[in-house]
Amino acid sequence: MVNSSPAVAAHAEGEEIEVLESTDVLPVAPEDYDPENSGFISTERFRDLLAAHGSELDPHKLEVLLALADGNADGKICYQDFVNLMSNKRSNSFRRAILQGSRQLRNSALREEVGLGLSRRLVRHVAYETLPREVDRKWYFDSYNYCPPPWLMLAITIAEVVVFMYYGFQLNRWVLQVSSPYFLKGPLPYHPQLRAQAWRYLSYIFMHAGIEHLGLNMAMQLLVGVPLEMVHGALRIGLVYVCGVLAGSLAVSVTDMTAPVVGSSGGVYALVSAHLANVVMNWSGMKCQFKLFRMAMALVCMSVEFGRAVWLRFYPPAFPPCPNPSFVAHLGGVAVGLTLGVVVLQNYEQRLQEQSLFWIFFSVYTLFILCGIFWNIFAYSLLDVKLPPPP
């Protein structure tokens, strides 16, 4: 790789485009390849650029660029697409050009490469687990360097284990901690009598009903959440996770108004359902091994965890009249995963703000949040709901 010159301004399609400093940007001046300021580079000049500097690129990136050149039958390439590509900000038009190109990335598949170290084999494995297109897998393989690491899912999981261990020693109970009279007295779980304490709509994820509850959630969170974070980043995966958590607690407050909530199932189910939906929607492109069996096992784990939550909800509570924790948070997480989550996973390295479906689902989600807030403010008194006493 070569270090680029400082940022230069390029005129493309009547708009000013800044080519930011990046270690991946080739030293190219727009006036050399676009003297008419048309916003396009001819494929011939583009090939000259690749011939002169191709040795400075990752081999997979060079392959993608050649496919881009082959994919433009009109003989020209948008300069903005080129800048975005070299800045790791690929556009939908770039993806369409790749998919329509005559080259179609027919070189050896990423899976066939040999001599890789353990860390690179892990990156390749994650690419095949989560991405349905070979061009995206190769791009991710060349770009990912474990910086930053998948810290978010690991940090949440560690925090959940620490809280569980603390309450395990405090309550002297590890299975069905929820049966302890002191379980709901802490500052973390959601309780309908304490719904004015807004942080509880999120903090409840750190409390679990027992080791069986924590174990299933932790397994799904790590096996699915960590690879997704490695590919899509902490910001996007965190968005899906937090939206699932918030949707879960608000869904409980609307549909199961007297029940408390504990566990990270809302966020976990948002991630897992989004991933499974992405696999189904791109079934032929997904090249992960034993995908049908593994998908069936994921559904079994989700069903077992959901069945446990339903059983616990209707099991006679240890300390009536307060019911056991609700299972509705699982359904709120699934709803987020099948809407917002799918849009995020379907648009690897695409700008979410340019996706109309993202704004549609985000608007619906925001409307749900606002309705949930107003419901919590007014509905309990208007409906004269008989709530259990505070813990």
Cα 93 to Cα 96: distance, rounded to the nearest angstrom: 5
Map tokens 């359904």 to a residue.
331
- In 3-state terms, what secondary structure has residue 76? strand
Which two tokens mark 67? 């496919």
Residue type (1 letter), 41: I
Q: Is 42 a catalytic residue?
A: no
Cα 251 to Cα 192: distance, rounded to the nearest angstrom: 12
Among residues 191, 213, 232, 330, the one annotated as catalytic is: 330
Q: Report the Cα 46 to chain-centroid distance in Å.
A: 35
Q: Is 143 a catalytic residue?
A: no
Please state, in angstroms and as integers, the Cα–Cα distance from residue 249 to each residue in 203, 316, 365, following that order: 10, 22, 14
Which two tokens mark 171? 């309550």
Which two tokens mark 209? 């009903």
Among residues 203, 253, 264, 265, the one annotated as catalytic is: 265
Specify the DSSP class assigned to residue 73: T
Burial of 183 (0-12, 13-18, 19+ CB in 10 A): buried
- Active site residues per annotation: 265, 330
